[in-house]
A and B are shown apart, each in its own frame.
Chain A
Amino acid sequence: MIINGLEAPVPADARVSLLDFVREHLELYGTKKGCNQGACGACTVLVDGERILSCLALAVQYDGREVTTIEGLVDDGALHPLQQAFIDHDGFQCGYCTPGQICSAVGMAEEVARGVPSHVTDDLGVTEIALDDDELRERMSGNLCRCGAHNGIVEAIAEVYAGSGA
């Protein structure tokens, strides 16, 4: 498996979740364990560019795949534009959900670019989807924030992926 551009042999123990693998084996502590049962989104990582929940994934299933965690979004020490936007818009309070929110939003933007419809997309035939407020909130509903920073989170994501209009 390739994690953040570096080769990492998958664990010999098939029980290890992808989440525990990146945190406990590779010591990449940016990815957070919230509920560990697929309800909160804190453990969201990107696999071949698609967002998934690492707590529900066995690491061995992702042998040969390319995994990106929050640490991998930093470009040569410079923050990812979304990380900067979260700072600018107070997109967090305690910060525990933040890595998952940011990885999720990166994957979400790719889905929108590919024209994947959501629950609130009116016309299933459209190929270009405007990331308005309803679309953004629906598409980010898999990431919970108990501090209640959702307004700042939506503003930060909108600034980077939807212009300032969302």
Chain B
Amino acid sequence: MIELTYSRASDAADAIRRAEAEGARYLGGGTNLVDLMRETVEGRTRYPMLTRAIVAGASAQIRNMATVGGNLLQRTRCSYFYDTDGSRCNKRSPGEGCDASEGFNRMHAILGASPACVATHPSDMCVALVALDAVVHLQSTAGERTVALGDLHRLPGDRPDVETVLEPGELITAVQLPPSDFAAHSTYRKVRDRSSYAFALVSVAAALELDGGTIADVRLALGGVAPKPWRAWRAEAALRGRPATEASFLQAADAELAGARPLAGNAFKVELARRTIAAVLQQLTEGARP
């Protein structure tokens, strides 16, 4: 049996001080996820892809009790990780082996995975945040620093047990969204096995700025396909300056997915991601539902 004690910190400095105790861990539950969108209607419509990503995640009950920092730091999701009695998992026991890579891996990664681990990061919110160039503020006894959200999560490599670049005891104190001229023209689409309360098979966060029929600028990120929220840099580069047509969208998706390494059970995700990217960009081009 593991003994557990609970103490409530008065502020960030107090939390960091208390966290120095041996075995101490931060516990979320203070900052409400939906606060991000509840603040003002203006905030909601300023970053529609973020609002849509938040309301696509989990259930209302879980969103009410979740925290922004906790969402960022949730573990990647894999049923073999949970199966402590019957499965091997390099994330649980480094060096033990991975039963998912040759097992039931329909939900698993097609991008960024390694032979050691093929689990996906389950967050919806992080997909929008990485597309919006969010910056994570950190604080510890060593001081304060910031990390781009895109650099917060590590790819598994041969150390899947280490998921982020956080130092021991570091506390997330804020997530900052830089101002964006075109985030208002953005959206988030989540494809899942049922229409609500399920993890993404593939999700797409996208923002689009058009100059006539030409793509002036674009932000694109994918969820459900990688061990971290996946910024689609290759697709973005392939889109800038191109005409906003389905052919351009599919070409850009192909550029991003050329690096896909599907497993036995999830090859469908490559085509699903390709079509979803194209559909979301088409939707933004037509100025449909933001």
Contacts and interface: CB of A to CB of B under 8 A. Distances in A.
A15 B235 CA distance: 46
A122 B290 CA distance: 8
A53 B62 contact: yes
Contacts of B38: 114, 116
B59 interface: yes
B61 A142 contact: yes
B141 interface: no
B173 interface: no
Contacts of B37: 116-117
Q: Is chain A's binding surface mostly helix, strand, loop or mixed? A: loop
A52 B65 contact: yes
A116 B39 CA distance: 10
B60 to A, nearest CB: 6
Q: Interface range on chain A: under 10, 10 to 19, 20 to 34, or 35 or more?
A: 35 or more
Contact of B61 (A53, A60, A63, A119): A53
Given A125-B44, A139-B60, A53 B65 contact: yes
Nearest to B44: A124
Interface in A117-152: 117-119, 121-122, 124-125, 127, 137-139, 141-143
Contacts of B55: 117-119, 121
Contacts of A139: 60
Nearest to A52: B65
A91 interface: no
A142 B6 contact: no
Interface residues of B, number: 30
Interface stretch (A74-82, A103-111, A156-164): A103-111
B21 interface: no
A44 interface: yes
B95 interface: no
A56 B196 contact: no
Interface string B227-263: 0000000000000000000000000000000000000
A33 interface: no
Interface string B32-51: 00100110010011001001
Interface string B41-78: 10011001001100110111110110000000000000
A50 interface: yes
A72 interface: no
A162 to B, nearest CB: 16
B51 A117 contact: yes
A14 B4 contact: yes
Interface centre among A38, A111, A119, A139 (most CB of B within 10 A): A119
A119 B52 CA distance: 6
Contacts of A124: 41, 44-45, 48, 51-52, 290
Interface of A: 13-15, 38, 41, 44, 47, 50-53, 56-58, 60-61, 63, 104, 107-108, 111, 114-119, 121-122, 124-125, 127, 137-139, 141-143
Interface of B: 2, 4-6, 8, 27, 29, 34, 37-38, 41, 44-45, 48, 51-52, 55-56, 58-62, 64-65, 195-197, 289-290
